[in-house]
A and B are shown apart, each in its own frame.
Chain A
Amino acid sequence: NAGVTQTPKFQVLKTGQSMTLQCAQDMNHEYMSWYRQDPGMGLRLIHYSVGAGITDQGEVPNGYNVSRSTTEDFPLRLLSAAPSQTSVYFCASSTTRRDTTYEQYFGPGTRLTVT
């Protein structure tokens, strides 16, 4: 199993550009989520999904869109990049089965700089 994969690992964007951060998992997990991590702020939830076709907003959703057309993939779209979106982005997944610990497995992260 590859676990949770993210691409790209690094990205530099200019203000106003759009792009998609890719996330995929091969563990058949129902739940997937996107976080951003900034110094002194901890991990903040952007969007999450409890299954294909179902998405919802987290704590900091503005400027980001998501979709979940398959169980495996959960891309994050930046509509019009702003310097405030410079951050490290982590994708995570977990099962929702009741007999588990619900631990979230994290991808390696995407380091995004917006100039």
Chain B
Amino acid sequence: GQNIDQPTEMTATEGAIVQINCTYQTSGFNGLFWYQQHAGEAPTFLSYNVLDGLEEKGRFSSFLSRSKGYSYLLLKELQMKDSASYLCAAYTGGGNKLTFGTGTQLKVEL
């Protein structure tokens, strides 16, 4: 079976750093995606990790540990526009099949 866990909600302050964790147990694993979804909009791609380690992309970084079934998304210098849902998704192969977590709703406050 496929199981992906991430916190339901998080709150952080503008300008701060926040880490959103994701743990996964999947049959077949080829990589880990993070997507951002603003309310009423479609998900948009943030990052993709295949190998263990940290991938940095501007204010966003994503980390993967395949042996621990664990990933996190790190958001630095938080801005109000970062208030959104962040979706963790495991690429489980069989074409490009993705299994999504339920998403973490991040609220950035002043």
- A residues engaging B (CB < 8 A)? 31, 33, 35, 40-45, 48, 50, 56, 58-59, 90, 94, 96, 101-109
Contacts and interface: CB of A to CB of B under 8 A. Distances in A.
B67 interface: no
Contact of B103 (A35, A42, A59, A102): A42
Contacts of B96: 31, 33, 48, 50, 94, 96, 102, 104
A31 B93 CA distance: 12
A103 B43 contact: no
Nearest to B50: A101
A48 B87 contact: no
A101 B95 CA distance: 13
A45 B97 contact: yes
A96 B95 CA distance: 7
A40 B97 CA distance: 21
Given A42-B103, A90-B43, A107-B42, A102 B48 contact: yes
B97 A42 contact: no
B52 to A, nearest CB: 17
A56 B101 CA distance: 21
Contacts of A101: 45, 48
A48 B97 CA distance: 8
Contact of B42 (A40, A94, A96, A109): A109
Given A43-B43, A101-B45, A102-B96, 14 more contacts: A33-B96, A42-B87, A42-B101, A43-B87, A43-B98, A43-B100, A44-B100, A50-B96, A56-B95, A96-B96, A103-B33, A103-B45, A108-B42, A109-B42
B72 interface: no
Contact of B43 (A41, A45, A94, A106): A106
22 contacts: A31-B95, A35-B100, A41-B102, A42-B100, A42-B102, A43-B43, A45-B98, A48-B97, A50-B95, A58-B97, A90-B42, A96-B95, A101-B45, A102-B96, A103-B33, A103-B45, A103-B48, A104-B45, A104-B96, A106-B42, A106-B43, A106-B44
Contacts of B98: 33, 43, 45, 104
